[in-house]
Each structure stands twice: as structure tokens, then as C-alpha cells.
Amino acid sequence: MTPQDDYLWDGSGPVDPGVAELEALLAPLRYAGAPPAPPKQAPGWMGLALAAGILLAFSSLLFQNPDEPGITEGWVVESLAGAALCDSDTCSLGVGEWLETGADGRARLEVADIGEMELGPHTRLRLKATGPQEHRLELARGRVEAFVIAPPRLLIVETPAATAVDLGCAYTLEVDDDGDGVLTVTSGWVALEAPAGDVLVPRGATARMTSGHGPGIPRFTDAPPALVRGLDAMEAGRAVPLAPLLKHARPRDTLSLWHLLQLQQGDARAQILDRIIELVGEPLPERSAVLAGDADAMRLLQDQLTLDW
């Protein structure tokens, strides 16, 4: 080791000008003593809480319900035949948008996460609202078949004549170009609601709807033809003798008689109630209360009759 090298090892001896220049350049990076203390770490449970919070925030974004208010995702539409035209370019149905099928078109619509609806030809359907409490559509014309597994009153379909309120079921709803329609229930129950009055339609039954008048008298699809003819005539506003009509009613046809009971007064009302009593053969609410139209008595009567519906 030469005297010139001593400076590099222990700082003694002469300083080489090049070394001095290099030292001046590196001075800002010179070691200044003990290393800085590491930052204090949060207790273990606080770290876990922070991690959990981050995970929760991420999962809420990942799994948020598309049917909650403020979510704009549409319902998925699948074309089954012909053309299905919707307002969205991706053919999903958003709030306020219409879905239409052509003369030969058929489409399947996912009803949020509760079921599906199949649209027949020449159908025009609009999604009016969707959320955790209610999914509301408007059927302007055409035919839809709905299948839903959901709490009552979650799916509502408006038509020009009446509003179909799903009570957890499967059904077919048809509306013609004049706004008249028909509902047929294949599973569960559906209520048809209108200002003129409401009707309840169970599985295996059907009811007509007339624009401006609301729903007609429900009847089972296998009801005796003579009973059906009489009910049709009544809905058309024609005078119909009650005795022949009532004679053909079966126990399950008390569905029609209970609704008919609410439309009649006086002797006609008494005739219908007497026939219901004959068909059911069970103790019923007080006769005078039913004839008077007492709401509690009518509700009790309905509860007993639904066992045959």
C-alpha cells in the first residue's frame, strides 16, 4: 500500500484531487448515524379491521344487487324466433325502455333475479320500475308467459284494462289491440286489480279483462259450458236467469259464485248464497252478514271456499 492509498483506508496521507472531487459529489448521501426507527405498527386487531373494511368495500362493489334503486343495468333479453327489438343496443331492457316482437317474433326476458317471462308475437312490453320492493311492467299488447318464484306482490304487470299482481306463480297474460285481455293462471294465484273492482284468480282458472270496465268473473278452464255461457252473457251486460246458471256449478265453481255474489243485490244475492251453501255443505259465516255485504263475513266466506279452489 502506498502513502497515497492510506487516505482511502484510514483518512491519513495526501488526498488525491480526483478522490476529493468524488467525495464532494457523494456528500449528500453520506451515512448520518443510526438508521431511522421503523414506523409504529397498529395492533393486530386494527390491521385485521382495516383489511376487513377494504374487503367489504370491494365485495359490495362486486356483488351489489342490480335491482336496487339507482342501478341502471337492464334485464337480459334473448331472442327465440324472428326479431325482438328493444331500445338498448345490447338488447337488454332498462327502466323506461320498450321491448317489441314482430309478427313472427318470440323473446325471453329475465325478470330480475326472480324468474323469467316469454313474449309471444306482436308483443309490446315496457319496464316501468325495478327494485327490491317491486318490479313493474306495462303490457300494451301481445302475449306474455310469466314464471316467478318470489314473495307476493313483487311482480306487477299493468294492462289497459287491469293490473295483474303476482302472488307467486306462473301465468299467461294476453292483451289485444283494443286493450281487452285475458289472464290464465297455471300455478299459484294472481290478483287482477282495477278501479271497478278486484278479482282473485287461482291455478287452473281464467278471467277476462275489458278496457274501461276492468276484470270479469273468474272461472276454471274446465268449468261446465252452460255456466261459462251464463257468465259470458252477464259480462256482456245481458240479463241471465240465475237458476239454470247456478244449477251447473260444481263445488270448485264457488270461485265464480263468490265473485258473482259481490255483484248482485237482493233476491239474486240470496239465490247465489243458498247455492254456495248447498255446494259446500259446511257451516258458513252468518247468512245475514253475508247478504248485507259485511266485509269480515265476506272474507271469512272466501277463506272457507278457497279450500275447494
Does the pLDDT at position 201 exceed 70?
yes
The answer as to whether 307 is a domain residue is yes
Same domain as 289, residue 212: no
pLDDT value, residue 11:
55
Same domain as 81, residue 192: yes
The answer as to whether 88 is a domain residue is yes
Same domain as 77, residue 182: yes
Q: Mean pLDDT, to the nearest integer, of 156-184?
A: 97
Rounded distance between C-alpha atoms, residue 77 and residue 110, angstroms: 7
* Percentage of the chain modeled with pLDDT above 90: 67
Does the pLDDT at position 186 exceed 50?
yes
pLDDT value, residue 58:
31
Same domain as 211, residue 279: no
Same domain as 201, residue 238: no
The answer as to whether 50 is a domain residue is no
Q: How far is CA 271 from the centre of its chain?
A: 41
Return the closest-CA partner of residue 139 out of 152, 149, 127, 121.
127
* Tally of structural domains, the chain: 2
Same domain as 247, residue 206: no
Same domain as 282, residue 169: no
What 3-state DSSP class applies to 230?
Answer: helix
The answer as to whether 256 is a domain residue is yes
Same domain as 254, residue 180: no
Q: Mean pLDDT, to the nearest integer, of 24-49?
A: 38
Domain extent at residue 76 = 68-216
Q: Mean pLDDT, to the nearest integer, of 201-213?
A: 97
pLDDT in tens, 52-89: 333 333 333 333 343 343 344 689 999 898 876 665 55
Of the listed ranges 39-43, 209-213, 248-252, the least confidently predicted one is: 39-43
Same domain as 209, residue 185: yes
Cell of 77: 333479453
What 3-state DSSP class applies to 189?
Answer: strand
For the question of whether the overall pTM of this predicted structure is more than 0.85, the answer is no
The answer as to whether 37 is a domain residue is no
CA atoms within 13 A on the CB side of 190: 34
Same domain as 208, residue 76: yes
pLDDT in tens, 253-265: 999 999 999 999 9
- Is residue 201 within 8 Å of 191, Cβ to Cβ? yes
Same domain as 230, residue 199: no
Backbone angles phi, psi at 53, to 5 degrees: -65, -45
CA atoms within 13 A on the CB side of 27: 6
The last residue of one of the domains, among 198, 216, 234, is: 216
pLDDT value, residue 281:
85
